[in-house]
Amino acid sequence: MSLSSIISSASSALANTQMQIAVANANVANADDLTYTRKSVSASATSALNTASTTTIQRAADSYLSKTVVKTAATSGYASTIDTYMQSYDAALGTVDGGDDLSSLLSTFTSALTTLAASPESDSEKGSLVSAASSLASGISSLSASIQDLRTQANTEIGTTVDTINSTLKSLASLNDQIASVTAQGGDITGLQDQRDAAVTTLSGLIGINSYTTSDNRVMVYTTGGDQLLGTTAATLSYNASSALSATSVYPDNISGVTLNGKDITESVSSGQLGALITLRDETLVNEQDELDTLASALISQVNAITNAGVASPAPSSLTSASSVSTTDSFSASGSLRVAIVNASGTTVSTEDLDLSSYSSIDDLVSALDAIDGLTASIDSNGKLSLTAEDSANGIALGDIGAAVGDDSQGFSDYFGFNDLFSGSSATDIAVSSGLASDYSRLATGVLDTTSTLSAGDRAVSNSDTTTLDALTAMLSSQLSFSAAGDQGAKTVTLSSYTASFVAGAATLVSNAASDSETATATYDAATTRLQNSTAVNMDEELAMLTTYQSQYEANAQLVSMAKDLFDALISMVS
């Protein structure tokens, strides 16, 4: 081998070793970067005598583990998002220890009924029952509000997530272009590939994806539903988030969809953070609201139907209907209504029975009521039927005698909503009626005497009568029919059993979400750890290699120096 060949070979070796040292130093410097993969230098001879070689930088990679990390990132992103929201929902559900969960609040209401039934004349016990009813109604409406707050939060976060997905796709498109360009120029793309792999994993955690790499080193990305997110250019997702959601806000009626280049993909997104947010907003929390509405509407209708047939003691001097009507509305009914004007002790001042079948319109009915001695009847500006005793010292008591009003054959007071305990029609607006909230003495505890012999001077209302309270207690322990709602099938159970079923179902949702998140996160972490064990930098190995490379560098430098000395000697001899 000639001296020039020796120098050329040694110089090439020096350059290779210098690059190896630089790569090893970069490995050491980036050892703590979890997205960085171990790099190495590969050299290949470019001549038969191996006097020159080319070097390329390669990175440690495992395609199978990389795909596993991307796949588990989607599952983890979905499960952890569900868990985060369910933890907030769990806090809103209340606790047995705190006595603010729905089962405890219903139990407190039931206990207050029992206590009042033992002392129906007690004002303090009436106040306790109204307070317990108010707490129950507040617990239901507050939970309903929390559900809608969580839906609104998820809805807002969908918009934020869409923006993050778009920015990630733009980054991936840029990295694709850089990698393709550098590949064509024969440059080092390993650092860019690390960045792209990290972005792909991030994207999968956001929306869940499938991907493959083309021959020119570009990554093509698709949703799990098959829609392309990244080709030669990045696609664009769009979403217009509503400012606030209510129980009536549902997709697609009045919530816009997530679109991909104009196509609505909302229903096909089922993984990653975005899939979880859509599931929470449109399914999980909607189901919980439906079940809560079913519970609330049953409570309102069943309780009010009983209190409507009752009367307070002392009877109130005025009654205002909860329902709104118009004087021109038709009126269809059968049976009779007893209207009694009573004094503070419940003694009859006057009484009259109205044949309800005699009236064909609300106007006819109001005229008949207004004609009763000692009573004024009218429809106010809000469409409420108002009955007022002409002598404010007296009270008004109503009693059905076989009355059946309207298509549902309701009692008279039930039809108009006199003596309601609860107002509202669902979990959203349930509350204790405003009249009771301000004056609990208006609470119906007994009933009006509807015997045929009742006349002026007879006791019509007794403060010791517990007929209404007893009926409420019996209702709470009786079997009621509930239609299917959310995850609850149609069933016939007690109100307390349905409430307990709702609470247990919600607790199961919370527990399952925590368990699924823990499992998904552990699986993702395990896949990431396996990949890092395969591709991450080992400091001990790199430091050892640096020592070896330095020794190689010194040896090749000596070889160049010796060859140079020989050249100098030859030149000296020739000269």
Condensed to tens digits (0 to 9), the pLDDT of residues 223-261 reads 999 999 999 999 999 999 887 899 999 999 999 999 999
> Could you tell me which residues come within 8 angstroms of residue 423 by beta carbon, excluding any fewer than 6 positions away?
322, 429, 430, 431, 432, 433, 434
pLDDT at residue 556, as a whole number:
65
For 509, what's the count of Cα atoms within 13 Å in the CB-facing half-sphere?
25
Question: Do the beta carbons of residue 210 and residue 222 sit within 8 Å?
Answer: yes
Question: Do the beta carbons of residue 199 and residue 209 sit within 8 Å?
Answer: no
Closest by Cα among 146, 164, 148 to 239: 164
Closest by Cα among 409, 385, 335, 329 to 362: 329
Tens digits of residue pLDDT in 526-570: 999 998 888 766 666 766 666 776 666 666 666 666 766 666 676
pLDDT at residue 559, as a whole number:
60
Parts of the chain with a pLDDT under 70 = 1-15, 17-20, 24, 27, 43-54, 536-540, 542-546, 549-561, 563-568, 570, 575
Residue type present at position 527 = A
> Phi first, then psi: what are they for 433, rounded to 5°?
-55, 145
What CA–CA distance (Å, rounded) separates 471 from 442? Answer: 17
pTM beyond 0.85 = yes
Question: Do the beta carbons of residue 493 and residue 103 sit within 8 Å?
Answer: no
pLDDT at residue 184, as a whole number:
87
DSSP lists the bridge partners of residue 351 as: 340
Structure tokens at 135: 């707490």
> Phi first, then psi: what are they for 36, rounded to 5°?
-90, 140
Residue identified by tokens 């790499």 is: 213
Q: Write the DSSP string, 15-28.
A: HHHHHHHHHHHHHH
